[in-house]
């Protein structure tokens, strides 16, 4: 299944998890049509998990969403960080340090 990349339609926390699942665990992501919700597809599955939009991240929605991902076989937090994730994390830290 072809995948989109997550953008500003989801929060930073959601984007981090989605990017990990796409790049390392074979998941696919579809941006919404019109006013719908983004969807996350586990590998070799015809079911999908709706992704709460930015603004839905308050309260316990993020925890409930992570639990749904883990039930469908996704891993978060990742066990060991991949080289790519370490690089992304270093870049992010450098950006944040630059902003301060």
Partner 1 sequence: MEPFSVRVETRAPRDARDVLPDDAADELMDRLEDYDGVVSSGPRSWDATVTIAAINPRQAAEEGTQIIEYWAAKSGLPSWPAVRIEAIRQDVLAEQLERPTLPDLVSAPEAADILGVRPQRLHQLADERRDFPEPAYELRAGKLWLRAAIEAFAQRKRQPGRPRKAVTAAG
Q: Which residues bind partner 1 (CB under 8 A)?
A: 32, 35-37, 45-50, 52, 56, 59-61, 63-68, 70, 72, 75-80
Least Å distance between CB 75 and partner 1? 5
Q: What token pair was written down for 23? A: 């790049």
Residue number with CB closer to partner 1 (45 or 92) = 45
Least Å distance between CB 37 and partner 1? 5
Under 8 Å between Cβ of 40 and 51: yes
| Cα torsion through 30, 6, 55, 75, rounded to 10 | 90
Give the position of tokens 């994730």. Answer: 85
Residue number with CB closer to partner 1 (70 or 86) = 70
Least Å distance between CB 88 and partner 1? 18
SS3 for 30?
strand
| Dist. CA 82–CA 39, nearest whole Å | 24
Residue number with CB closer to partner 1 (89 or 94) = 89
């Amino acid at each position: 299944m072809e995948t989109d990349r997550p953008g500003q339609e989801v929060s930073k926390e959601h984007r981090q998890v989605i990017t990990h699942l796409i790049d390392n665990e074979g998941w696919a992501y579809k941006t919404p049509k019109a006013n719908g919700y983004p969807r996350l597809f586990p590998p070799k599955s015809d079911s999908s998990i709706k992704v709460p939009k930015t603004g839905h991240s308050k309260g316990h929605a993020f925890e409930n969403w992570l639990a749904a991902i883990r039930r469908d076989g996704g891993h978060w937090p990742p066990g060991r960080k991949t080289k790519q994730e370490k690089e992304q994390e270093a870049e992010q830290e450098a950006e944040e340090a630059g902003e301060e």
